[in-house]
Structure 1
Amino acid sequence: MVQVGGFAITRSAPRGAAWAASLAAAIRPHLFGLGSAPLALAGIMPRALFREFHEEPLPALLRSALQTATDNAAADLRVMREAVTLADKQLAGRLYASSTAPQVWRMIVSLGPLTRAELARCLGVTKRTASQSVSSLQEAGMVRLRETDSAIVPANADLVPRE
């Protein structure tokens, strides 16, 4: 769940993420025999870390989990950089000064598919303003509507957030 301007947006946890256990390890590492708190964020620690018997030594498992998290964060940052560059290029000269299209674009790329109502709540604007921003992004060829639930998704599959 992400809080934006007092409104909550819920996203499903990545498959296989041990959210509760990872959060517990971050808050109370001594209960897991970890000593000082590892760099643990909910969802990055694999379930294998919380088994009674480990196939690999615990330090190796932690190192692997942190490397995976670092690689995923770097990939996410690359996608966001590409998305911002694309927005600057595609939206140049198309928008009025008060347009929220760039903010809508960043939210869709970073959080994943969102509906117009969710975008409006997050940005503190009306649904009409959110719809106008989505229309601008559609005209620029940056987003499309997902048929199953009318959520707005990037038109380029390479800019879809990692699940």
Structure 2
Amino acid sequence: MNQNDANYWISHLGLEPHPEGGFFKRSFESTEELNEQSRKLYTSIYFLLRAGDVSHFHRLQSDELWYFHAGSSMSVHIIHQDGRYEEAKLGLNIDKGEVPQVLVPKHSIFGSSLAEDKSFSLVGCMVAPGFVYEDFELFTQQQLLEEYPQHEEIISKLAYKTIPKF
């Protein structure tokens, strides 16, 4: 195995399957908590998508900052609260519109895919205030199409038809 292989990173970082798709492992969390909530100030994970994987559309109640680490660039697909769609390219090829960091604002619906369907992409994601599963919502295609019919093409690619049991 070498660093150009997704299995190298999955094995060496101890990544596990994520309910939204792809693989992850919590890497850091704040030692400080928000007093009123007993919630971590921030949490951070490694997140990896392989060719053919997607991160299905979901929503968090906190901001999430994405950092590119290795592999191919990744597209982060965001449906903002006002219904506007944005595709942010996470990677190091600045001349082609990629950026090494992407902010997904809280309450946005978002998912991700490889910008080119080859190889893999390894990124880091930091959530502040820290991630808790109670703030994590997955969506079906039907749910999203009722509210955002203008985004049918990307919804059909990144939303579950039915949400699997985890």
Structure with max Cα Rg: 1
TM-score category by the smaller chain?
A: under 0.3
TM-score, normalised with respect to structure 1: 0.23
Greater relative contact order, per chain length (Cα 8 Å cut-off, separation 6+): 2
- Write 1 or 2 for the structure with the bigger share of helix: 1
